[in-house]
Structure formats: C-alpha cells, structure tokens
Amino acid sequence: MEINTTQYKRCELVKVSGRVDSFTAPKLGDVLNEITQNGKYNLVLEMSDVEYVSSAGLRVMIDVQKICKQLNKGEVVLVKVPKRIFETLELAGFVPLFRFFDNITEAVGNF
C-alpha cells in the first residue's frame, strides 16, 4: 500500500493505492490520525488505485469519519471509488456514512 498526501487550503487529499488489509490498515490509520491531530478534519480519500479493502481497512475509514464528524468539525469524502470497493462498502452497510465524488476537483471544491 502507498499513501500520498496533499494539503489544500480547506482540506487534505489522501491518495491511497494498493491493498488496505489487516497488515497495511494501521499505517493508513496512523496517517489519517496524524492529520486529524493537526486540526484538519476535512479529508478527501482518493481510492482509484485501491485493489482491496478488508474489514480492518473499513474500520479505519469509519473511525476517522467519526473523529471528523464529531462536533461538526468536518468529514471524510471518497473519490474515484472502484466498483468492487464500492460493493464492499455497500455490503457492509457503510455507503450512507460517506459522500462519493467522481473527481478530485469536485471533492476538494466541496469544502
């Protein structure tokens, strides 16, 4: 798994690629937690190159969403989610917890 972050004026873009499984999910959690601990709660998670998300990866995504939405501080939005990953989110019942965008410009402009 590879993670790249880009700072924007109103949000942080986090591009994730590869597999988000029980081995790599803690690394993603660390990156996202560091961003929120620095006071940034508007996150754009770009997932076009994600091949697989396990339950551990889903848990990281839900945990950071809870942190961001606490006291209406912000939220995590998902961009370019592959069909297979979307189906995993749908099966787990997590689709209503996120907003989805087709391109980065729309997602970043959302904030």
Q: Is the pLDDT of residue 66 over 90?
A: yes
- pLDDT, mean of residues 83-105: 96
Mean pLDDT value of segment 24-49:
96
- Quick one: CA dihedral 7, 80, 45, 22, positive or negative? negative
Q: At residue 58, does pLDDT exceed 90?
A: yes
Q: Please check the confidence at residue 72 and state whether its pLDDT lies above 90.
A: no
Q: What pLDDT shows up at residue 107? A: 95
pLDDT of residue 3: 97
The number of beta carbons lying within 10 Å of the beta carbon of residue 76 is 25
Domain boundaries, the chain: 2-109
- Residue corresponding to tokens 């087709």: 102
Proportion of the chain above pLDDT 70, given as a percent: 100
CATH class for the region spanning 2-109: alpha beta
The model's confidence at residue 67, banded by pLDDT at 50, 70 and 90, is: very high
pLDDT at 71: 80
Give the largest CA-CA distance in the chain: 34
Per-residue confidence (pLDDT) for residue 20, from 0 to 100? 97
